[in-house]
Amino acid sequence: MSINCIRSILEGAVETHSDKTALIFNGKRINYGELFSRVNQVACYLDELGLPKNARVGVYSNKGMEQVIAILAILSTDYVLVPLTRLLKPEQVEYIINDCGIRCIITDRIKLESIEEIEFDGKVISYESVGRDVDSFEEIYKYYNKPYSCDISGHNNAVITYSFGLTGTPKGIVISHRNLIDSARVVSQYLKLEETDVISGILLFNLDYGLNQIFCALYKKATLALHRFILPDDFFNHLIDDEVTILPLMPVNISQMFDDPGQRLPSPELFDKLRIITSSGGNVTERMINDCERAFPRARFFSMHGLTEAFRSTYLDPSQVKIRPDSIGKPIPDVELYVINEQGRECAPREVGELIHRGGYIYRGFWNGPQENAQRFKSIEILKDVIDLEGQLTDEIVVASGDYVYKDEEGYFYFVSRHDDMIKTRGFRVSPYEIESVVRKNLPQIDQSAVFSIENELIEEEIVLVYSSAHEIPEEEILFELKQHLASYMIPSKIVYRKSLPLVQSDKNRVNKEALKREITG
């Protein structure tokens, strides 16, 4: 079996650390030996389903040990994992099912109702016994006890993660087993993770940043402590009770922790074991850094920047967080970053240009996305005026990120804007077209709508919906309809009525969002 697959590091952990605690959740613990046994039982069952090689298997559930077991079991077969965030509505899940041809879904009792609502005709497996024609992990643990072995290639597709693209519908990015291993290796290296670490698993497992916590724990034979973030007090208890040493966060999580100015924080001494905090998925503000420093004074803060098309591009060393808080840092190991202008030449210091990612951690490409692939995955020839392409070896692929940045005289990068008008809020990428299409389809009394963002320090960007209609519609009525079709993080926080919307002079079919934004922000 390839050394570049998740299965290989799981087997390695069991060989040497079978009795070590692998997972913690709600006070319960299982060791690596128990985890491996359960993963094998589920993988054996999945293998016997006889699905075609590379068949897509979705995981659509709330967080728990069974969710991790499901993820590792799928990655122990020649199937492809499609993680689906529990925040998605049934119609969004249905789109992803149809887009990548999901043949089997693993779920829990709560989300089973959503799957039944879309009339999925593939195989459904539940964690719990539900008393109907649905197999469960509980039954699999009882009856599947035969040995299981597999042979996984590092070059095989492992995961398809979905985020919202320019077309307004979710677009999947394909990640190989080698990508997953490389990501765990590099993070473990620059964070200096240790076998004794307890990594907090509060992030959702629908995207690579969250999944990486599972794989880093396996790679270092550390412990993953799962937690569902609901209230700050529960979260702080999780850090204390589970003796967390590594805390991966998104900026929105930091805001959730400290958004109540009257909240009484636990004594900093209770967090003495917490040594590293990481943040990715959005801009970190000076206030967020100060809040973390006040609550967790012994922890070093790593700010990181990744791409949809590549796992990670940069990180900012903790020593620089206070000195240059606006910087996204320098390239991670095995990555070269270039800033080029429209003529393809390298930008001078502090000149804004497009970020080009070269080297490791580049993903396979977008699923059924030829337009997106052509836009983002380029021949290295795009750098022909920047580097020496010896021997005309131009088959290497780089990522033209669509992120506009600049580099200072000391080599630190600074994010400026995105090429498209994607909204980044609460750690998620949201397409305004997705929201506008729901309005158009489900609120026929609205003549025109425009969705855009305005800055909000707590959640990075706040979603605004401006609409025109014959008369003003009660805000509650609009919100009620949107909540039926959109994930919670996609719901506009500000809804504005106008009798008519301004149009772009050169295109009278298009709403002038910049004019609206200026009007809203005053």
Instruction: Give the pLDDT score at 119.
Output: 83
141 within 8 A of 39, measured Cβ to Cβ: no
Phi, psi of 90 (to 5 degrees): -50, -40
Residue range 71-90, pLDDT digits in tens = 999 999 999 999 998 888 88
**CA-to-CA distance for 36 and 334, rounded, in angstroms?**
32
Positive or negative, the Cα torsion across 207, 70, 248, 377? negative
More confident residue, 274 or 258: 274
Helix 6-17, helix 177-190: angle, nearest 10: 60
Judge whether residue 475 has pLDDT over 50: yes
Q: pLDDT confidence of 164, banded at 50, 70, 90?
A: low
| DSSP secondary structure string for all residues of 225-262 | EE---S-HHHHHHHHHHTT--EEEE-HHHHHHHH--TT
Lowest mean pLDDT among 261-265, 407-411, 481-485: 261-265
33 within 8 A of 13, measured Cβ to Cβ: no
Judge whether residue 158 has pLDDT over 90: yes
Please report how many Cα atoms fall inside a 13 Å half-sphere around the Cα of residue 107, on the Cβ side: 22
Judge whether residue 261 has pLDDT over 80: no
- What's the token pair of residue 19? 């009795």
Instruction: Give the pLDDT score at 165.
Output: 44
Judge whether residue 191 has pLDDT over 50: yes
Superfamily of 6-175 according to CATH: ANL, N-terminal domain (3.40.50.12780)
**CA-to-CA distance for 10 and 230, rounded, in angstroms?**
30
Distances (CA, A) of 213 to 184, 217, 349, 464, 489: 8, 6, 35, 33, 22
Instruction: Give the pLDDT score at 133.
Output: 83
Read off the pLDDT of each residue in 357-365 and give the average, rounded to a whole number. Answer: 96
Indicate the average pLDDT of the chain: 92
Instruction: Give the pLDDT score at 458.
Output: 83
Q: How many CB atoms lie within 10 A of CB 234?
A: 11
Judge whether residue 322 has pLDDT over 60: yes
127 within 8 A of 136, measured Cβ to Cβ: yes
Report the alpha-carbon angle 96-510-415, nearest 5: 65
Read off the pLDDT of each residue in 98-117 and give the average, rounded to a whole number. Answer: 94
Read off the pLDDT of each residue in 229-257 and give the average, rounded to a whole number. Answer: 94
CATH 3.30.2130.30 fits 423-521, yes or no: no
Alpha helices in 286-406 (DSSP H): 286-295, 370-376
Judge whether residue 418 has pLDDT over 80: no
Q: How many CB atoms lie within 10 A of CB 468?
A: 16
Positive or negative, the Cα torsion across 280, 281, 285, 288? negative
Highest mean predicted confidence (pLDDT) among 33-37, 384-388, 489-493 = 33-37
**CA-to-CA distance for 276 and 273, rounded, in angstroms?**
9
Sheet (strand 170-176) strand order: 135-136, 123-126, 102-107, 56-60, 80-84, 157-164, 170-176, 365-366
Domain limits, the chain:
6-175, 332-418, 423-521
CATH of domain 332-418: 2.30.38.10
Residue range 419-463, pLDDT digits in tens = 666 788 887 878 787 898 899 889 999 999 999 999 888 888 999
Q: pLDDT confidence of 276, banded at 50, 70, 90?
A: very high
